[in-house]
Homo-oligomer: A and B are copies of this chain.
Amino acid sequence: MATIYDVARMAGVSPATVSRVFNGVGVSVAKVAAVRQAAEQLNFTPNRTARTLRRQSSEVIALVIPDIENPYFTEMARGVEDVASEAGYSVVLCNSDAQVEKESTYLRIAIAEHMSGVIVAAASDRTNLDELLGTGRPVVAVDRSTGHDIDGVVMANRDAGLSATENLIESGYRRIAHIAGPEHIETAAERAEGWRRALAAHDLPSEGLLRFSSFRVDGGREVMEELLALPEPPDAVVAGNNLIGVGAIQVLTERGLTPPLVGVAVIGSLPFTTLSPSLVTVVRLPARHMGVMAARMLLDRISGDDQPARTVVLRNELLPASVSR
């Protein structure tokens, strides 16, 4: 690999001048031309590692998410990436697999690699950002808030749970279960709270109808089966996220209980569903937009913005099933 010295020699200038050419500072047109030509000829690319070491920061941001196979998070990643790459930043995607240890490893790498900032969807409420924040790096929380006083972008989760449930109530369902995500994850708890409130407001029963699960397809399947095995099974169900929804609908379909025979409302979109869209209620969560907002806030912080921490709450959109029992 050619270095800045090779280019300098070939162009008959000093290494500093070559550096300047590649960093947009004032250099005479003649030398710029000479340097560019030499660089071209030598196939020179500035060595980012050296630049990073010298500058103590790199144009890379880390995005740490708990499940790279969940379309909700990949949609969000697209939003982050679009904003970041527009601004000349690269995004490295890290999959914490919902494990705090893996998450810590990636956060440590972000520090050790001098990345400029981090966007993190916390693996759990035990996520520890102290070390990262101690380095002064900007960090933005997405999807789930953390215990720390930092910028964040979250969904209106309680509202989502509430409106999903109310929609089912309006459609005439009366025994509405909720398959929530893990109990210690904020989004899950909040959505469950919304579900509970909706039922309470309409004097409907909730006892025995709330189940915590994993935010995954098999979690949704398992719990749906349990619910159907109940002496008095529910006539409708609110799925705590997209994957739980998929699992629940799969089980219902296999049993011939295709919605709207059993009412289904899902918190989150079902991008790859093959079901006719009018059969289930969906609360669309603006995942891409969440990524966009988070990236913008992070970039602001990186360029020195030091306002007090902000939390943005994103509204969601109810797409009611158009067919009911």
Assess whether B271 is in contact with A274, with CB atoms less than 8 Å apart.
no
Assess whether A111 is in contact with B45, with CB atoms less than 8 Å apart.
yes
- Copies of this protein in the assembly total 2
Q: Which residues of B contact A93 (CB under 8 A)?
A: 68, 92-93
Q: How far is the CA of A69 from the CA of B73 in the complex (A)?
A: 9
Interface of chain A, helix or strand or loop or mixed? helix
Q: Does A47 belong to the interface (CB within 8 Å)?
A: yes
**Size of A's binding interface in residues, CB under 8 A:** 51
Shortest Cβ distance from residue A145 to the other chain B in the assembled complex, whole angstroms: 25
Q: A45-B111, A109-B90 in contact; A81/B95 too (CB < 8 A)?
A: yes
Q: Which residues of B contact A46 (CB under 8 A)?
A: 112
Shortest Cβ distance from residue A215 to the other chain B in the assembled complex, whole angstroms: 13
Assess whether B274 is in contact with A113, with CB atoms less than 8 Å apart.
no
Assess whether A253 is in contact with B274, with CB atoms less than 8 Å apart.
yes
Q: A48-B112, A95-B81 in contact; A135/B1 too (CB < 8 A)?
A: yes
Q: How far is the CA of A271 from the CA of B246 in the complex (A)?
A: 9
Assess whether A272 is in contact with B271, with CB atoms less than 8 Å apart.
yes
Q: Which residues of B contact A307 (CB under 8 A)?
A: none
- Counting chain B CB atoms within 10 Å of each CB, the highest count among A75, A78, A112, A243 belongs to A112
Assess whether A48 is in contact with B113, with CB atoms less than 8 Å apart.
yes
Which residue numbers of A lie inside 8 Å of B, CB to CB? 1, 43, 45-50, 52-53, 58, 68-69, 71, 74-75, 77-78, 81, 85, 90, 92-95, 102, 106, 108-109, 111-114, 131, 134-135, 217, 242-243, 246, 249-250, 253-254, 270-276
